[in-house]
Amino acid sequence: MSTLQPRPSQLDRDGFIQAFGGVYEHSPWIAAGAFDAGLGPDADQASRLAQKMAAVVDMAEPAKKLALLQAHPELAGKLAIAGGLTSESKREQAGAGLDQCSPEEFDQFQLLNQRYRARFDFPFIIAVGGLDRVAILSAFAQRVENSRQIEFETALKQVHRIALLRLRRMVKAD
């Protein structure tokens, strides 16, 4: 069996928020909500903690969900160039090769980032694990055409996927 390290069920509130507050980008309120809802030994498993944290987001007011989406950085965006990404985002974007964009790819990302943000009021969000620049740009070009409601729901699903992937990286085999 594989468990999260540190074990959520063995932490006090402050320790839990410190350890897991960054699972959702710049949104420690989600970890606080999960802790306040109660964490048993089942929360020591990445998938179970991911479900508990996702439930906090899913029950949040639309404005709070929007703020969560807005807390995410743009892909291959200005924050990445300036070195202002969280360590998690930097690792994820580099893993997809976004730190090695050609000038043409970089220009595509910049144009799509501008168009997407103007249309939806939040950045394009995709769990980049297992994807390369070509696949990400393709999904980006398709999703910018979605309705706001569909894209809002899609972005939230992607945020949950990112959180699960981040939690899985915190697992240690027993």
- Catalytically annotated residues: 72
Percent pLDDT > 90 in the chain is: 75
Give the pLDDT confidence score for residue 79 in this predicted structure: 46
Tell me the pLDDT band of 74, cut-offs 50, 70 and 90: confident
Q: What is the pLDDT of residues 81-122, one digit of tens each?
A: 555 667 787 777 777 777 788 889 889 999 999 999 999 999
Tell me the pLDDT band of 172, cut-offs 50, 70 and 90: confident
Q: What is the pLDDT of residues 9-39, one digit of tens each?
A: 999 999 999 999 999 999 999 999 999 999 9
Give this prediction's pTM. Answer: 0.90
Does pLDDT of 156 surpass 80?
yes
Domains of the chain: residue spans and CATH = 2-61 (no CATH), 67-168 (1.10.3330.10)
Q: How far apart are CA 159 and CA 56, in angstroms?
A: 13
∠ CA 71-126-107, nearest 5°, is: 90
Structure tokens at 54: 């996702």
174: amino acid identity, one letter:
D
Backbone angles phi, psi at 151, to 5 degrees: -70, -35
Percent pLDDT > 70 in the chain is: 93
Mean pLDDT (the chain) is 91
